[in-house]
């Protein structure tokens, strides 16, 4: 599998962070980038949900998500945000090759406009029901699965 990064800017819930560590491990994520006020291990709530993945999954903290993204871009990494927007395309229609960084947004506000402007592509999950959103860790898991299945 090619390099595959997960960027978590200002995720409010430690449980979501823990779930992201566990899911990232399952789908071959190379490294997680925790940005802004996203909680960092060790933290009991993260540790409980990640079931140990926080101990072996590589991660790094950046105060600024923008700085993290610009660093990855300079390394030739394609930046993909998971967010519903005017220009987003269906996750299942997107093509994921080469080194990729997936950005998932804050539980309430999603991916900020400032960050969306830095992205090479914005993808969304096609929804069937009346609700137009998923829990961030669930949505992130769906996207990680799709990217991993194409990028192996």
pLDDT average, residue stretch 52-67: 97
SS3 string of 74-120?
HCCCEEEEECCCCCCEECCCCCCCCCEEEEECECCCECCHHHHCCCC
- State the pLDDT at residue 133: 86
Give the CATH number, domain containing residue 66. 3.40.1280.10
Q: In percent, how much of the chain has pLDDT > 90?
A: 90
Full domain range(s) for residue 110: 4-150
- Give the model's confidence band at 131: pLDDT under 50 very low, under 70 low, under 90 confident, else very high: confident
Residue 83 phi/psi, 5-degree rounding, is: -165, 140
pLDDT of residue 69: 98
Q: CA dihedral defined by 46, 40, 61, 97, rounded to 10 degrees?
A: 0
**Does position 130 have pLDDT exceeding 90, yes or no?**
no
Count of domains in the chain?
A: 1
For the cut 90, the answer to whether the pLDDT of residue 115 exceeds it is yes
For residues 76 and 97, what is the distance between their CA atoms, to the nearest angstrom?
12
> Sorting pLDDT into bands at 50, 70 and 90, what band is 14?
very high
- d(CA 139, CA 142) in angstroms, rounded, equals 5
Confidence (pTM): 0.96
């Amino acid at each position: 599998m090619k390099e595959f990064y997960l960027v978590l800017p200002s995720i409010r819930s430690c449980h979501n962070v823990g779930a992201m560590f566990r899911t990232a491990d399952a789908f071959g994520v190379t490294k997680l980038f925790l940005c802004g006020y996203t909680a960092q291990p060790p933290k009991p709530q993260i540790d409980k949900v990640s079931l140990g993945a926080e101990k072996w999954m590589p991660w790094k903290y950046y105060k600024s998500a923008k700085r993290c993204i610009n660093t990855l871009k300079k390394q030739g990494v394609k930046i993909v945000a998971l967010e519903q927007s005017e220009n987003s395309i269906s996750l299942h229609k997107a093509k994921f090759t080469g080194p990729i960084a997936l950005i998932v947004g804050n539980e309430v506000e999603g991916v900020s406009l400032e960050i969306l402007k830095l992205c090479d592509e914005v993808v969304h999950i096609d929804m069937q029901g009346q609700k137009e959103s998923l829990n961030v860790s669930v949505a992130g898991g769906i996207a990680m699965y799709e990217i991993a299945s194409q990028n192996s």
